[in-house]
C-alpha cells in the first residue's frame, strides 16, 4: 500500500508581507523550498494561503459575500489572478529545488456551496501523488452554486484533502510559533504545546461567547476548519514557518516548538 501523504500548509502570513499589498517574502519562500526538498517526503500535498495577494482583493470586492453586483466580476478575476501570481512564486521556487511541483488551481475544479466545498474530486491529485509529483493548491476565489462565488480558504482545503487522502498528518506553517492562550503579540500570551479535540471545542465555545477577547489568539477560523481532520484521527502540528528549519524538522517528525492538535 502507498504511504499516507502529509498535507503541508504554508500560511500567507509566513510567505507574504501582510502589511504591503501583493508583496511576497521571496527569501522565506526560497528557504522553505530548500527545507521541503531536504525533508524528502515521498507523498506530499502543499496548500498555501493568500496573505497580501489574496485577502486585500477578496475584501475589497467582498468575494466571500457572494455575487451582489456586476462590479464584483472584474474583482473576482483580479483576486484569482493575484493568487496565481503568488502560486507561481511558490511553484517556481520548488522546481528550482528539484521538487516536481504541479499547481492545481482550486477554481478550475472545485465549486463551493455556501462557501463549503460541495464535492472534492481528488482523482488528478491522487494520480499526481502516485507519479511522485507534488501537487500545489492554494486558497482561491471559486464559483459557488448558491451565492455565485466565494473564497475557498487554504484552511478548509487542508482538512478536506487530509480526510480524503487519509493523511498521515497535517503540518501548518504560520507566522507565529503556534497556538497561544491569547493574541501572541500580547505579553501574557503563552504557547500551548498540545491541544486535544475536547479543548479545541471548549476554546471555540468560549470564543463564541466573548467576541471582544479572542481566546483563540486570532485563530478561531483555523480551529473551526481543523476540527473535522482531528475528528478523523489525523493530527496537526502548527509551527512557525518563518523560523529556519522548522518546516524541515516538522515534516521529518522531529520535535519543534509549536502546537500539536490531536484527538485525545
Q: Interface with a second copy by CB under 8 A: which residues?
A: 67, 70, 73-74, 76-78, 80-81, 84-85, 88, 91-92, 95, 98-105, 107-109, 111, 123-124, 127-128, 131-133, 143, 148-149
Record the cell numbers describing residue 225, joined without a space.
476548519
Q: How far is the CB of 32 from a second copy (least distance, A)?
A: 17
* Cα(168)–Cα(106) distance, integer angstroms: 22
User: Which residue number, 108 or 186, has a Cβ lying nearer to a second copy?
Assistant: 108
User: Which residue number, 111 or 164, has a Cβ lying nearer to a second copy?
Assistant: 111
Q: How far is the CB of 146 from a second copy (least distance, A)?
A: 12
User: Which residue number, 93 or 203, has a Cβ lying nearer to a second copy?
Assistant: 93
Q: What residues does 238 pair with on adjacent strands?
A: 172, 259
Sheet containing 6-10: order of strands: 101-103, 134-138, 44-48, 6-10, 169-174, 235-240, 258-262, 194-196
| Phi/psi at 117 (5° precision) | -55, 125
Q: How far is the CB of 79 from a second copy (least distance, A)?
A: 10
User: Which residue number, 72 or 153, has a Cβ lying nearer to a second copy?
Assistant: 72
104: three-class secondary structure by DSSP: coil
Q: How far is the CB of 73 from a second copy (least distance, A)?
A: 5
* Cα(4)–Cα(110) distance, integer angstroms: 23
Amino acid at each position: 500500500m502507498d504511504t499516507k501523504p502529509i498535507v503541508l500548509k504554508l500560511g500567507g502570513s509566513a510567505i507574504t508581507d501582510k502589511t504591503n499589498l501583493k508583496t511576497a517574502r521571496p527569501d522565506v519562500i526560497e528557504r522553505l523550498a530548500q527545507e521541503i526538498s531536504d525533508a524528502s517526503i515521498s507523498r506530499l500535498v502543499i496548500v498555501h494561503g493568500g496573505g497580501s495577494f489574496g485577502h486585500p482583493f477578496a475584501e475589497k470586492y467582498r468575494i466571500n459575500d457572494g455575487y451582489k453586483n456586476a462590479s464584483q466580476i472584474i474583482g473576482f478575476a483580479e483576486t484569482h489572478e493575484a493568487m496565481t501570481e503568488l502560486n507561481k512564486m511558490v511553484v517556481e521556487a520548488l522546481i528550482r529545488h528539484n521538487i516536481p511541483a504541479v499547481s492545481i488551481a482550486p477554481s478550475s475544479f472545485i465549486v463551493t456551496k455556501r462557501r463549503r466545498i460541495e464535492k472534492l474530486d481528488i482523482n488528478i491529485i491522487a494520480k499526481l501523488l502516485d507519479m511522485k509529483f507534488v501537487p500545489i493548491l492554494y486558497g482561491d476565489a471559486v464559483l459557488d452554486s448558491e451565492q455565485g462565488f466565494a473564497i475557498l480558504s487554504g484552511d478548509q482545503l487542508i482538512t478536506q484533502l487530509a480526510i480524503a487522502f487519509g493523511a498521515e498528518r497535517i503540518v501548518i506553517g504560520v507566522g507565529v510559533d503556534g497556538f497561544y492562550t491569547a493574541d501572541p503579540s500580547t505579553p501574557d500570551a503563552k504557547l500551548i504545546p498540545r491541544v486535544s479535540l475536547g479543548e479545541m471545542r471548549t476554546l471555540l465555545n468560549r470564543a463564541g461567547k466573548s467576541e471582544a477577547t479572542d481566546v483563540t489568539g486570532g485563530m478561531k477560523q483555523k480551529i473551526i476548519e481543523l476540527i473535522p481532520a482531528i475528528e478523523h484521527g489525523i493530527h496537526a502540528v502548527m509551527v512557525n514557518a518563518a523560523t529556519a528549519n522548522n518546516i524541515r524538522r516538522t515534516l521529518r517528525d522531529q520535535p519543534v516548538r509549536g502546537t500539536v492538535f490531536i484527538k485525545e
